[in-house]
Every structure is written in structure tokens, then in C-alpha cells.
Amino acid sequence: MSASSIIPINRDLQAVDTLKNKEDIRLIWLDAKIDDSQDSLRTQTLLLEFNPAAQFYTDPNRCIIFIKSTPNEQILLIVSGALAREVLSQIHDAQQITAVFVFCGNRKYHIELISKYSKVVDVFTKQDMLLQSIRDTMQVVEKQLLAFSLFDQKQKSTKDLSKDSASFLWHQLLLHVLKKMPQDEQAKTDLVTICLDFYGTNKQQSKKIDKFRKHYRCEQAIEWYTDECFLYKLLNRAIRTEDIELLYSFRFFIIDLCTALERESKKLKSSDILTLYRGQQIPNDEFEKLRKSVGILISTNGFLSTSRNINVALTFARQFRKSCDMKTCIFEIQADPTLTSVIFADIDEYSKMKGEEEVLFGLNTTFRIDSINMDKMLNMWKIKLSTTTEGNTRIEEYMKLQEEQMKDCSPIIYFGCLLWDELGKVEQAEKYFKKLLTTLSPNHPDISGVYNNIGNVYRRKGETNLALQNYEESYRIRQKILPKNHPKIAASLHNIGLIYKAKGEYDRALDLYQQALAIYDKNYPGDHIHKVYTIEAIGWIYQSKEDLDTALIWLNRAFDIYTRVLPTNHPNIAWCSGNLGYVYEKKGDLDRAIDFYRRRLEMEEDTLPSEHSNLSTHLKDLVKIYKKKNGTQIALALCEKQLVSQRAILGDTHHRIASTLMIMGSISEPTEIRLYYEQALSILEKCHPPNELVTLDCLGMLGAISLDEGNFQEGLAHWQHILDIRRRIHSPDHPEIASRLESLGDLYFEDMHDHSEALRYYTECLAIYRSNYLPQHKSVVEMEEKIEKVRQMMKT
């Protein structure tokens, strides 16, 4: 490598400044002597060829912080002998640390590290041997990675099951939708572009990407996949981590590979049942989940590589030294070639890795877990699986339900809708639809749907101004290309109405809903799901206008239609039940309110994933009514029962457990409230990923408790923390930021008597309120009054 090809490299970066890693592995080199000398830069450049996201550190503290902030990657750490002991004592047991390579000048001074730390591969003094070991380890790790979804075929609901079952069905639907997307030159261009974005500085991979661009043919899909180049590395990570941007870009190759495997699979249909093997190291928590799931269906989230030869599988299983946080396992799979829906193919003749006798399973192949036992002869766990069509009926039922939903939109639009509506992946949906804006032509028939769904995403995030902008753009396009009474015109009117309702402009929202309903009535004289959404929205408007009797008329009408057109216990029926309960609560009819709230919670417990936030929100609503009826002990007993169930399913550090503790605190004696909320905050600080909305609620109450106790500095710290989080997760003019600014202003004015600080917070708050609401809105008027009051106080 010539000196001219070496460029300066940034070091000691924080996580936010590093390149997003699209591979599973990240290399990190820690050595106080890394610098810009030619020898050092040459080594850094070689490591970047191995892994474009590789990072380099001279500061051990910064390196440790980065490792701890990167929990979802497989980190291969190269560390100097001088720093090895200091660093390994702090991070060796972190799950993301997969392997450690000690690089030093004298092997004998550090040889004991191999026996002391199980993840230390070896101690190296020569660069070529180090690089070869890193290369070999990376290949093993990439083949070891495996994610799976479990599907309890006995569960009742098809709309939303447990987290694992929902993920299982989502991966089935993913392939179904991708296959309906156009296979054109743009699809191939999207794939090449995103690969070059990541591997642009990697000469070896860039050459392969260019070769792929110029010469790839669909019948070569298996050969390209087994080359273990950029396609193999990025595709499996995209599927396993549900990286929507990558998956959409890879749609071209995914379809080709699936088609090729289906073609090759037919060659095995006359064969007997095959016994196949896969060696695997599995994290303890994933292994325990499998052990508890014997008899349940499992689907690997990716293309599953196996071998006819048990010795090949055993070699892979034993590549790593035993670790306390991993189980060494071998999968023994009985694969029946006569099952038409099970796709697997003998790809040994196509594979670049000769001699592995590889059999590759297609995307989303379903297996049954037959048994899991310790094999004493092999000294590892044996997991026996068998291919099955057992779940096909449930999968087909789910697909049929989704096909009905897809009638009103194209596959590319429905794919994004799935993200924000079915799976709650709002951020990923936003990225997906914004990417469509850049890839579809302005005259594409789906452009109005893209803008409409960006509006949906912003509305889900509470960004009403941005939602309105996109809804109105979608409406403008639809008015140009559709008849005035087209159902999609009604859908736009309905969505714009939702925003004006959120802004408190109820009459304007009601007018839009009525226009939408008139169009729906012309298109759908009988019951129809789109029409009932608008009927329910009108009922909600009347509730907001305090016309509760009229609200009940519209909501009961919606409830009746929902029960006629939707399956039993459908989430929309549950949601409408809650709306009816809320109106009865407002009317003071607490018995009916309890009945509807309880029905909603019971339906949602049957249909929503165990971690769904609605379950906590709606438990809180029910508990609140019990408290109003002096039924605090009944409410606490209900919460205790919920806690037992939640801990059994979700573990001890889940945001739903924190939410339940907060609910219990809200109905407890004043002396116990702080204890419950502090327990909740302790759990929330350990949650991964963090649940910021629940954390905000918890901090808000702890702040209020501190203020009630006269501890203004502690209360101020909690509320300032809330403002910091709000600014991080919302746009600058979000109403929630204004609300927190107002609370801080109140604190400075009423409790701390700091009028200048109060005025500063109030002024910023008013600017945000004015950007969201009309001048006569209550929030605007009240804030103007507060500012005038502060100014008068400052004059005296």
C-alpha cells in the first residue's frame, strides 16, 4: 500500500460522531501509540478495509464509553498490552464484546490474559498473524449470528400477538409485500447506491459492487450470496435487525435469491427426509427463551445456512472458547422436502466455500422445536428442529386480513403503513416514506399516499404542524387527479380534521369530518371500515365540545358498526369501548365507565403484545375510576396481579413494570408515592432501549413531589431534565416543549420568585403556542396574561 493511498483518520470519536455501522461487526483498536505515522496509518487503513465502521482510540476512557454506548453490535477489540489489563477488567463481560486480540511487543508478559479472560483469542506480536486471526474470527462471527421469532400457534389473536409472534408474522408479510414491488433498474440502482455509501472507501468491496452493477444476472443470486461479500454482510443484518432502509434497498436481491432457492428446492422434492446441522453459540437469554418454547414454532429471521456434515457444524460451534454468557449448541434439523411451502436447497455446487456441504433455507422457513437437551458425548446443547406447515393456517389467515387492507393502496405504500400502524415503528416508517419521496417521480401515482403517510407519522409523534403540512399537500395532489367524491378525498378531509381537532379548532374539524362522511356515504351505503373511523371521530368531537349525549349517539353507532365488520376483540373495538368509557366517566356514570374500561383492557390483553404501552395507559384509566369509587384496595390488588404477570413475561427491567409501579404510586398514601416512583425511575434507567415517554411521566411526578416537599432545587432539576428530553425528541415548536417551558416559568415565578427567569421561559413558551394555535386559543390567551402579570410585577 503506497503512502499516497493513506489518508488521515479521525480517532477517539464519541458514538454520535461515528459512521453508522451497517454490518454486524465493529472493529476497535485501542493503543495509546496510534498516530498519523505511515506505519500506524497503514494498519488503520487495513482495518478499515476489513470493517468500514472500525474505530481507533488512544484514550481508554473514551474507548470504554463508546463500547458501553454500543450494545447492539458485535465488537472485536484489538488492545495494546499496556492497556489490556485496565480495559479488560471493565468491559470483558459486556455482551457486545465478542473477541479480544492483544497486540504487543512481548508475548510472554501478557500470555496469562488468555487463561484469565475467556474472550481473549490470543496475544500477537506480528501484524500479519493478527490480521489473519481477525479475518478468520470475523468470518466465524458473521456465520454465527442468528435471530429468530417464536410463534405460539395456540394464541387467539391474529392482529397482534406477543412480541415474538408479531415479529414472526411481520417477517412472513415482509417477503409477501417485497415480492409485489417492481423489479426494475431503479431497484438495482437503490441497492448499488446504498452499498457504495457504506463501502465507498473500501477498495476490495467497491470493486465487487462495481462488478455486481455491470455483470450481475438474477440466476447468479446464490453464487453472489455465498461469496460472503457486501451482499451477504448487509442483507442478513438488514433482515435480522429489521433495518427498513436496507431492506427496501435490498428488495431487488431478496426476490432474486428467494426465486433461485425455490428453483433449486424443486430438485430435492423426490428425496427422503434430510438430517442437517448447524453449530451455534447462543446468548444465555436467547437460549432460555428457546428452552421454554419446546413445541412452539420458530422462524429464523434471515437465510439459514446448514450442513449435511455434522463435523462442519461442530467446527463452527467450537470456534470460540466457552463463555459464561453464551451456550454452545448444535441444531439438528429434520427437513422434509415434500412440504411444498418449505424452501431449502443444496447449494454446494454454487458456494464459494467448497467442502461445507451447505444447504440453505429460504427466508422465513418455519420449524417446530422438538426438544432441547444436553448432549454429553458432544459436550454441548442439542436443539432438535423439524420443518413443518403447522402454522400455515394462521399465517394464511393473517395474510388474508392484510390483503383486504392492501386493496386500497399499493404494496410500497402498504409496507410503510405496516411499520407505523401495525408495528409501532414510527421512526423507521418516517425514514421509509421520506426515502420514497426522493426515489419516486413527482408524478408517480403513489406520491399523494407518501405525503399522507408522512402526515400520519408526524401525527403519531404529536407534530401537528408538520402533519398538517403533509396532509394538505396530499389533499392538493388528490384534488388534481381524483374525482371530487373519491374515497381518498374523504380520507384527506378526515386526516386534516384530526389535526384541527388536536389544535382545539373543533368546529372546523367537525365540518371536515362531515364532508368526509358525505363522500363515504356515497361510496359505501352500508357498513364500511373507513366510514366508521369518521363516525367515531365525530363522536369524539362532540365529547370535546362537552355535548356528551350527542357524543354517545355517534360513538355507540361506531361501536355497533365495528362489532359487525371486525373480528371479535379487534383493537378498534377495544379503542371505541375506551372512548365510550371516557364519556360515561365525564357524565359521572362510573359503573358504566368501569364496564367499558375493563372490556377494553381485557380485549387488548388478548390482542396486543405484552410490552405495548396502551396496556399501561388503559390500566391507569381503570385504576383511576376505582379510586373515584373509593375502591383503592381493589385497584392495588389489580396492579399487583399485573406486576406478577409482567415480570414473568417481560423480566424485571421493562418500562411496563415501571408504569405499573407509577400507577400504584398515584393511588397510594402520600408517604408511599415517592418510593413507588423512585423504584420506577430505577427500572427505567436500566431499560434498553429507553422509553422516554414513560421516563418523562416519572420525572414529572418526582419533580412535583420535590416541590410539594419544598425542595425547589431538586424539583427544578427533574423538570429541566424533562425539558432536555422533550427538546431531543420533538421538533422545536412542539406543544409539549411549550407546556414544559410554562411549568418552569410557573416554578420560577410562583415558588422561586425569580421574575426575569420566569419571563424568559414564558416568552419562549408563548412563541411556540402561537405557532400551533389561533390567537383566541386558551393556551395563548392565558400565557399572554401570565407575561403581562410578570411584567407588572417587575415594574413594582
- φ, ψ of residue 369 in degrees (nearest 5): -80, 110
pLDDT over 60 (residue 191)? yes
421: helix, coil or strand? Answer: helix
Percent of the chain with pLDDT over 90: 57
Closest CA to 521 of 561, 576, 549: 561
Going by their DSSP bridges, the two strands 148-151 and 304-307 should be labelled as unpaired
Please report which confidence band the pLDDT of residue 283 belongs to, taking 50, 70 and 90 as the band edges: confident
Whether residue 40 contacts residue 92, with contact meaning beta carbons closer than 8 Å, is answered with: no
d(CA 446, CA 437) in angstroms, rounded, equals 10
pLDDT over 80 (residue 168)? no
Whether residue 735 contacts residue 462, with contact meaning beta carbons closer than 8 Å, is answered with: yes
For 687-714, the three-class secondary structure string (H helix, E strand, C coil) is CCCCCHHHHHHHHHHHHHHHHHCCCHHH
Whether residue 607 contacts residue 157, with contact meaning beta carbons closer than 8 Å, is answered with: yes
d(CA 90, CA 712) in angstroms, rounded, equals 37
User: In a 10 Å sphere around its CB, with 0-12 CB exposed, 13-18 middle and 19+ buried, how is residue 251 labelled?
Assistant: buried
Q: Which ranges constitute the DSSP H helices of 566-711? A: 571-587, 590-607, 613-628, 632-650, 655-666, 670-684, 692-708
d(CA 346, CA 362) in angstroms, rounded, equals 11
Q: What is the pLDDT of residue 157?
A: 38
For 158-189, the three-class secondary structure string (H helix, E strand, C coil) is CCCCCHHHHHHHHHHHHHHHHCCCCCCHHHHH
Residue that has been written with the C-alpha cell 408563548 in this structure: 766
CA distances from 358 to 234, 276, 353 (A): 20, 9, 9
d(CA 201, CA 226) in angstroms, rounded, equals 23
What letter would DSSP give residue 303?
A: P
157: helix, coil or strand? Answer: coil
Going by their DSSP bridges, the two strands 97-103 and 120-124 should be labelled as parallel
Residue that has been written with the C-alpha cell 450442513 in this structure: 307
Q: What is the pLDDT of residue 78?
A: 97
**Domain 271-395 sits in which CATH superfamily?**
Toxin ADP-ribosyltransferase; Chain A, domain 1 (3.90.176.10)
Please report which confidence band the pLDDT of residue 245 belongs to, taking 50, 70 and 90 as the band edges: confident
Please compute the mean of the pLDDT values over residues 372-378 and round it to a whole number. 95
- φ, ψ of residue 103 in degrees (nearest 5): -115, 115
Percent of the chain with pLDDT over 70: 92
Going by their DSSP bridges, the two strands 55-57 and 366-375 should be labelled as unpaired
The DSSP-derived string for 556-571 is HHHHHHHHHHS-TT-H
Please report which confidence band the pLDDT of residue 162 belongs to, taking 50, 70 and 90 as the band edges: very low
pLDDT over 60 (residue 550)? yes
Looking at residue 11, its amino acid is R
In this predicted model, what pLDDT tens digit does every residue of 582-608 receive, in sequence order?
Answer: 999 999 999 999 999 999 999 888 777
Please compute the mean of the pLDDT values over residues 545-559 and round it to a whole number. 97
Residue that has been written with the C-alpha cell 447492539 in this structure: 72
Give me the architecture of the 3-144 domain, per CATH: 3-Layer(aba) Sandwich (3.40)
How many CA atoms are closer than 13 Å to the CA of 334, on its beta-carbon side?
9
How many CA atoms are closer than 13 Å to the CA of 589, on its beta-carbon side?
14
CA distances from 686 to 611, 617, 677, 678 (A): 16, 21, 14, 13
Parse the chain into domains and list their residue ranges. Answer: 3-144, 271-395, 730-796
The domain defined by 730-796 carries CATH number 3.30.160: no
Please compute the mean of the pLDDT values over residues 32-57 and round it to a whole number. 90
- φ, ψ of residue 24 in degrees (nearest 5): -80, -30
Going by their DSSP bridges, the two strands 380-387 and 366-375 should be labelled as antiparallel
